[in-house]
Amino acid sequence: MFLIGLRGLINLGNTCFMNCIVQALTHTPLLRDFFLSDRHKCEMQSPSSCLVCEMSTLFQEQFYSGHRSPHIPYRLLHLVWTHARHLAGYEQQDAHEFLIAALDVLHRHCKGDDNGKKANNPNHCNCIIDQIFTGGLQSDVTCQVCHGVSTTIDPFWDISLDLPGSSTPFWPLSPGSDGSVVNGESHVSGTTTLTDCLRRFTRPEHLGSSAKIKCSGCHSYQESTKQLTMKKLPIVACFHLKRFEHSAKLRRKITTYVSFPLELDMTPFMASSKESRMNGQYQQPADSLNNDNKYSLFAVVNHQGTLESGHYTSFIRQHKDQWFKCDDAIITKASIKDVLDSEGYLLFYHKQFLEYE
């Protein structure tokens, strides 16, 4: 199987967690364009210690050079160990943790690429990582006495979503009990959907008497509700399904199947859609044809096995409907059904109006 841009990565000893994230990043359209057009201006004393320079080399000389043999990413691994020491060593690491660490190091090493324009994201940084991955999460805390609202907006690179089967209660009411269909997902015999997880993430949560917050209107500690919504959507939305549960009592993997769509409309979860919500449910307004909030799936990272003994693979979209499975050095053609039937650990979506082949 050979296509420009597709190349296997050798496993250097439990490094499948890194390989699957590298595959997702190298197939992120705007990131690919940045690296292939040589726009990085390195400001580090030694370019050999710069992760952005190494990624540029990876894109230009490895993935898009026409080489057919699998690449050995030893320099990349060494740089990650150097700049994110908590990931050093040959133990199996968490792919989600590696993604966040890689974005953080790339963000720090991209400082010289700021083009002087005012940053249009909540991280107040104009580097290519923040341009693509940073969104703004709005938190509204409402006092239950005077109904005053305190609002904060925080940057995010990914959204972590609770799943049914975890020790956190998932539903205040049964899944899909409103009978609605959002994002083309209807409920088949109680199957949980990505939309369900997003509804749960953005529903109002009562903080209770043990978590009273000082209300600026009442000038005293009061019970309140908290609600998270999307203030600003990133170009690439990454959803982390929280399959690994670590607590004082147990460590386990949650294998609940979550159905996720090829196309995702984030309009129901925007801060601007809050007024049209009732009890965590969403009534679709007739004029909700806002293409700015529509996304296409382009990469899925999966974890097979248990917490102690597992393996990461990824599905990558190469063209509009061409999908491939990346299993370290081995790349095989995959069907859309293979992708959508997979368990899903990290889901990568790209804004449709900025997407091109």
Which position has the higher pLDDT, 117 or 154?
154
Residue 156 has pLDDT above 60, yes or no: yes
The tokens for 229 are 């919504």
Q: Which of 20, 311, 319, 326 is catalytic?
A: 311
Residue 159 has pLDDT above 50, yes or no: yes
Q: Averaging pLDDT over each range in 164-173, 183-192, 279-288, 342-351, which range is the top one? A: 342-351
Place of tokens 């296409």: 296
- Catalytic status, residue 27: no
Angle among Cα 327, 330, 331 to the nearest 5 degrees reads: 85
Residue 266 has pLDDT above 80, yes or no: yes
CA 171 to centroid of chain Cα atoms: 23
Q: How confident is the model at residue 90 (pLDDT cuts 50, 70, 90)?
A: low
Q: Which of 16, 50, 110, 127 is catalytic?
A: 16
Residues 6+ apart with CB under 8 A from 37: none
Please give the backbone phi and psi of residue 164, each rounded to the nearest 5 degrees, phi first.
-60, 145
Question: Could you give the C-alpha distances from 292 to 130, 266, 295, 296, in angstroms and in order?
Answer: 18, 9, 8, 12
Mean pLDDT of the 254-261 span: 93
The tokens for 185 are 């997902």
Distance CA 92, CA 251 (A): 16
Q: How confident is the model at residue 264 (pLDDT cuts 50, 70, 90)?
A: very high
Residue 352 has pLDDT above 60, yes or no: yes
Which position has the higher pLDDT, 355 or 159?
159
Residue 178 has pLDDT above 50, yes or no: no
pLDDT digits (tens, 9 = 90+) for 235-247: 999 999 999 987 7
Mean pLDDT of the 175-179 span: 45
Which position has the higher pLDDT, 123 or 328?
328
Distance CA 147, CA 132 (A): 36
The tokens for 275 are 């007024």
* Average pLDDT score over the chain: 83
Q: Report which secondary-structure segment, H or E, holds 259.
A: strand 258-259
pLDDT digits (tens, 9 = 90+) for 91-107: 668 899 999 998 998 89
Q: Which of 26-35, 206-215, 234-243, 309-318 has the lowest mean pLDDT?
A: 206-215
Q: How confident is the model at residue 180 (pLDDT cuts 50, 70, 90)?
A: low
Q: How confident is the model at residue 179 (pLDDT cuts 50, 70, 90)?
A: very low
- Catalytic status, residue 42: no
Angle among Cα 24, 29, 31 to the nearest 5 degrees reads: 75
What is the per-residue pLDDT for 283?
A: 54
Residue 87 has pLDDT above 70, yes or no: yes
